[in-house]
Amino acid sequence: MKELEQLTSPLDFLSDNLGHNPDAAVLAAYEHWWSSEGQVISDAVDRAGTPWLRMFDRAGTRIDEICYPPGYRAMLLKGYREGIISRVFEQNSVLPFYRIGYITAFHDPGLFCPYTVSLTTAVPLKKYGSEALKARFLAQLLRTDDEVWQGATWMTEIKGGSDLGASVETTAQEQGDRWHLDGDKYFASNLGAELAVVAARPEGAPRDVRGLALFLLPRLKESGELNYTVRRIKDKIGTRSVPTGEIELRDSEAWLLGNREQGVYLILEVLNISRVANSIASVALAQRALAEATEFACQRRAFGKAIIEHPLLQQQFRERRHGLQAAMALACKAAQMLDAVWQQTPPYNEQYHLFRLLAHLAKYWTAEFAARTCKWAMEVHGGLGVLAEYPVERWFREAMILSIWEGTAHRQILDGLEVMQRKAAHKDLFESLRPAADSHALAGIEVRVDQHLELAEDEQEASAEKLFYDLAHFTAETYLKESRAR
């Protein structure tokens, strides 16, 4: 079955959507490795559960070593060796990252997280770090051998991640050529990373989002002592291949990135790179779930024929294959738009604000599509779908995390409204859609958005979900139509 063959290959599906690929041979070898070796490791890691924390060595010295199931490091290093980070800077493009990331996420969405936060550490370091900082740290993040350093992005504290202005209580005190941070990070992914970018509030800064700054924090102080400690590792329903836990910052050495008055913009740059990664991962996961459902439905027989031949289920498969293609078109457009603007610095131009809106639409739409698709794939399997011995229940668990990572649907809707209200990004979006869009449908959504933005603030927020859903759907379908016309 030709459709099943394409669905079971992330590279085949990716090749039709993300433009010219100079690394085709590398990606083909990477996909083969996953099929022949990596998936077995990934499945074992998921079954083994959360990595564990060794806090002290035999002499009683605090070491906070993250201990992984067998094979994990080989799986992790494979992506770094293939250049998932280094190729971004060699090719001056983020697209190599998302291509390798798509194949990774098809097999293990959680593993895409360490790569993502490593990139979102390297990018602000390259853009905003001093020459001394770049000389000291950047090359370590770009290595393609076993000595590669990993990055992390630690923003969220116990009060939550949506309202950073109110929830970030970590403080930063300037001391000579560096800063010292004190605070706790509650959802800190990729524990044990050698470097992290951290949101903190310099002493005396306003108690709102504009008072935040972005800092580079190494795992070890210059003295060789731990620069941060791990309180605990969290046990999660999915993404078990990445350790997430709680970090304690106590007089921790860090360096300011960029201008402290522009810290919130740097933080949002980091988040938006991750949101596009989340979109790519969501589509890859939806493809994997659809592939699992297709394979099962071709084999399972009921009432005298394969269940995929029954009209109702057949229609559902058609709808979900189409939805997958539309979600991919939207995610790829967000990645391509990011590729055009990722090196901009504040103040940004209109193209950057259009990217911001696309990032919110893509993150919202693809994560919701992945969750719906994975739930449906379980239903296709019937009672077998809830059994841990078969893979489809894992993809449902993974989808639940992707819908929350880098901001829930609620957050994407409100941030999308903000960039439309303040930057009129929807006008540029409509212009980009106009060549391929149905003119009548486009005129209708334009009127709806304009009327919505005229509402009182509370009414605008309360009624935003249906509009944002329709806008995301319309945008995805139009970009799909555009891609098919090429």
Q: Residue 303 pLDDT > 60, yes or no? A: yes
Mean pLDDT of 18-23: 76
- Report pLDDT digits (tens) over 401-440: 999 988 999 999 999 999 999 999 999 999 999 999 999 9
* pLDDT band (50, 70, 90) for residue 162: confident
Q: Residue 3 pLDDT > 70, yes or no? A: no
Question: Under CATH, which number does the domain 153-260 receive?
Answer: 2.40.110.20
DSSP states along 376-392: HHHHHTGGGGG-TTSTH
Provide the residue ranges of all domains of the chain, joining segments of one domain with +: 2-141, 153-260, 264-485
| CA 88-43-229 angle, 5° bins | 65
CATH fold label, 2-141 = Butyryl-Coa Dehydrogenase, subunit A; domain 1 (1.10.540)
pLDDT at residue 312, rounded to an integer: 97
Pairing label, strands 229-233, 301-302: unpaired
pLDDT at residue 19, rounded to an integer: 66
Q: Residue 18 pLDDT > 80, yes or no? A: no
- Report pLDDT digits (tens) over 197-230: 999 999 999 999 999 999 999 999 999 999 999 9
Q: Residue 193 pLDDT > 90, yes or no? A: yes
Q: Residue 1 pLDDT > 60, yes or no? A: no
Q: Which amino acid is at 397?
A: R
- For 357, the enclosing helix (H) or strand (E) is helix 350-380
Percentage of the residues of the chain whose pLDDT score is greater than 90: 88
- C-alpha R_g of the chain: 22
Tally the C-alpha atoms within 13 A of residue 17's C-alpha that lie toward its C-beta. Answer: 28
| CATH 3.30.420.40 for domain 264-485 | no
CB atoms within 10 A of CB 299: 10
Q: Residue 400 pLDDT > 90, yes or no? A: yes
pLDDT at residue 486, rounded to an integer: 78
Q: If you average pLDDT over every residue of the chain, what do you get?
A: 95
Q: Residue 4 pLDDT > 90, yes or no? A: no
pLDDT at residue 97, rounded to an integer: 97
* pLDDT band (50, 70, 90) for residue 165: confident
Q: Residue 175 pLDDT > 90, yes or no? A: yes
**CA 340, CA 94: separation in Å to the nearest integer?**
9
